[in-house]
Structure 1
Amino acid sequence: MNLEFAKMHGLGNDFVVFDGVRQAVELTRERIRAIADRRFGIGCDQVLVLEPAERSGVDFAYRIYNADGGEVEQCGNGARCVALFAREAGLTDKDRLRLETLGGEIMPRILPDGRVTVDMGVPHLEGADIPLSEPGEWVRAPLEVAGERRRITAVSVGNPHCVLEVEDATAAPLSTLGPVLEHHPLFPNRANVEFVEVRSPDRIRVRVWERGAGVTLACGTGACASVVAARLWDRVGPRAEVELDGGNLTIEWAGPEEPILMTGPAVITFRGVLGQWPASRPATAGP
């Protein structure tokens, strides 16, 4: 089976993107993990599949799989990439698209300078909507984590996020605290974790532990959730530049019941053909 794909990235958050409109794409958890493997496969943070829309008024559906093989609800950097992919692949000539995901509809718009703005919808703060195992809103709420009390803010941007303010994002304990919070009982579907350093009323520095992928250079929904949280803390205004390890995103959020707008780049790195599924990682392979 030959499958055409594109390797893409948004600020270093990288993807293998399949056209599921013109070719049949059959993925299993094992196949996704093999594709995502950076030594034995193509290598990526997520695998994205663009598919025909199931509902009228929607241009395409797209599915998102993390490197561990699990399907997830939303991916902001992925949304920018699949919008550009659809146009570059000749699947549409539109600059504005409506995409259907497990986390709801999103609306990307390709700008003349090649960047993409995505209407990510209205963020959710209620525990039942994120979801959380506890009711109510969690804004700077104390949470017992690894024997310490941490103040966290929980936000859904179509997927669950746990946001913490830190003095120095560069020194944030991503690899130690990130997985603990990802799997904390408060988050029944696990969580993406953001460590936020507020630098000014219109600029924040964010580092990300991404659910199912670990430390990533950028996370679009994480940037959105971080600005929402910082607004709720009265630390930033309605528009903020978000500095991620892979580059910057511009996030706009006017406040409760208003949609989030995310603007940033999308890049096609190369195209290829998957002639056979990558071999599984050998049991004797090193770390």
Structure 2
Amino acid sequence: MSFTKMHGCGNDYIYINCLKGIPFDPNRLASVMSPRHYSVGGDGIVLICASEIADFKMRMFNLDGSEGKMCGNAIRCVGKYVFENHLTDKLSLVIETLSGLKTLTLHKKNGKILGVTVDMGKASLEPEMIPVLAKDKFIQHPFEVNGVTYYGTAVSMGNPHVVIYMDDIYSLDLNKIGKDFEYHPLFPERVNTEFVKVKNRTNLEMRVYERGSGETFACGTGACAAAVSSVINGYCDYDTPIGVSLIGGTLTIVVDRDLNVKMTGPATKVYDGVFAYECETE
């Protein structure tokens, strides 16, 4: 089975052309291909599929085999993949995801896609949309993890996030505490957790623990959630580019006053490969 390894700011996935169908169990394949050191290695797999309502459809599966609704870094790589593999000649694309339709603007130079801007749609703070078990919007709301009180802001970017501000994000042992946030009973569908340091009004630093994957080098929807949280909490400004620095690189996020979000960042191809796998139809 042919695949392409790609990453967006170090958030690396294994991309598979499934325009003619999915001849395997994607949940199982993700758990087989994703382990580092023992297989191809990555944060999961991304299937590029045909769509009846958009240019293409993206399905993504975390390294534990669970299917995710949306990944901002992965969708940029999908745009690069379909253009550079001559599956489209369009520089503006609509991609179907489990969290809705997303519009991509591809930035081309010398025939290659160097970066992509994604219209991520409108963020939601409504508890039932995230979901979070709260009566009102969960903004700088105290909650306890392992006996420690944290203050979090819950945001949906089509998937659930909670943003926590700290002065020191680099001493955290996310491998130890991350799952306690992910599986916190306040979040019935689990949650992605962003640990954010505010540098100034236009720059944030962030680490992320993603549900189903653990700590990753970057999370596009997480960077968007951090920017949304930062404007509503007064740390950053609306309609102003916000640089979110992650382990793997920097994403630029703009949030308008209606909480519509646009994200711009790189998309990088690493290599093409072939994986020996006994296919089983989904």
Q: Which category describes the TM-score, using the shorter chain as reference length?
A: over 0.9
Q: Distance in 1 between matches of 2:26 and 2:15?
A: 15
1:50-69 mapped onto 2 (5 Å cutoff): 50-55=48-53, 58-69=54-65
1:100 Cα deviation from its structure 2 partner = 0.8
Q: Who is 1:26 aligned against?
A: 24
- Deviation larger for 182-191 or 22-31: 22-31
Contact 1:34 1:277 in 2 (8 A): no
Contact 1:206 1:242 in 2 (8 A): yes
Q: Who is 2:153 aligned against?
A: 153
Q: Who is 1:271 aligned against?
A: 272
Indicate the SS of the match to 2:92. Answer: coil
Match of 1:241 among 224, 238, 243: 243
Q: Distance in 1 between matches of 2:135 and 2:95?
A: 30
Q: Percent identity?
A: 38
1:4 Cα deviation from its structure 2 partner = 1.5
Contact 1:35 1:277 in 2 (8 A): no
Q: Who is 1:135 aligned against?
A: 135
Q: Distance in 1 between matches of 2:194 and 2:259?
A: 22
Q: Who is 1:46 aligned against?
A: 44
Q: Who is 1:174 aligned against?
A: 174
Q: Distance in 2 between matches of 1:7 and 1:236?
A: 35
Q: Who is 1:213 aligned against?
A: 213
Contact 1:73 1:103 in 2 (8 A): yes
Alpha-carbon displacement from aligned partner over 1:107-139 (angstroms, at most 9, x marks no partner): 111113521000000001101001123332101
1:23 Cα deviation from its structure 2 partner = 5.4
Change (3 A) 1:277 1:269: farther
Q: Does 1:163 align with 2:163?
A: yes
Indicate the SS of the match to 1:5. Answer: strand
Indicate the SS of the match to 1:93. Answer: coil
Q: Who is 2:72 aligned against?
A: 76
Contact 1:31 1:277 in 2 (8 A): no
- Deviation larger for 208-217 or 28-37: 28-37
One-letter amino acid of the structure 2 residue matched with residue 236 of structure 1: C
Query: Quick check: which one's strand share is greater?
Result: 2
Alpha-carbon displacement from aligned partner over 1:150-196 (angstroms, at most 9, x marks no partner): 11000011110011000022223422332111100111111111000
List gaps (5 residues or longer) in structure 2. none
Match of 1:8 among 2, 6, 9: 6
Contact 2:21 2:49 in 1 (8 A): no
1:28 Cα deviation from its structure 2 partner = 4.1
Q: Who is 2:84 aligned against?
A: 88
- Deviation larger for 85-94 or 8-17: 85-94
Q: Who is 2:255 aligned against?
A: 253
1:25 Cα deviation from its structure 2 partner = 3.8
- Deviation larger for 68-77 or 34-43: 34-43
Q: Distance in 1 between matches of 2:177 and 2:231?
A: 23
One-letter amino acid of the structure 2 residue matched with residue 30 of structure 1: R
Q: Does 1:124 align with 2:124?
A: yes
Q: Runs in 1 of length 4+ with deviation above 6 angstroms?
A: none
Change (3 A) 1:277 1:211: farther
Q: Who is 1:110 aligned against?
A: 106
One-letter amino acid of the structure 2 residue matched with residue 253 of structure 1: V
Indicate the SS of the match to 1:189. Answer: coil
Q: Distance in 1 between matches of 2:124 and 2:254?
A: 16
Alpha-carbon displacement from aligned partner over 1:82-107 (angstroms, at most 9, x marks no partner): 11111112111111111111111111
Change (3 A) 1:24 1:142: closer
Q: Distance in 2 between matches of 1:208 and 1:277?
A: 34
Q: Distance in 2 between matches of 1:135 and 1:70?
A: 28
One-letter amino acid of the structure 1 residue matched with residue 250 of structure 2: N
Contact 2:20 2:50 in 1 (8 A): no
- Deviation larger for 136-145 or 76-85: 136-145
Indicate the SS of the match to 1:128. Answer: helix
- Deviation larger for 23-32 or 78-87: 23-32
Alpha-carbon displacement from aligned partner over 1:200-259 (angstroms, at most 9, x marks no partner): 00000001111111111111111000011111110012321011000111010012x242
Q: Does 1:99 align with 2:100?
A: no
Contact 1:63 1:102 in 2 (8 A): yes
* RMSD, matched Cα: 1.5
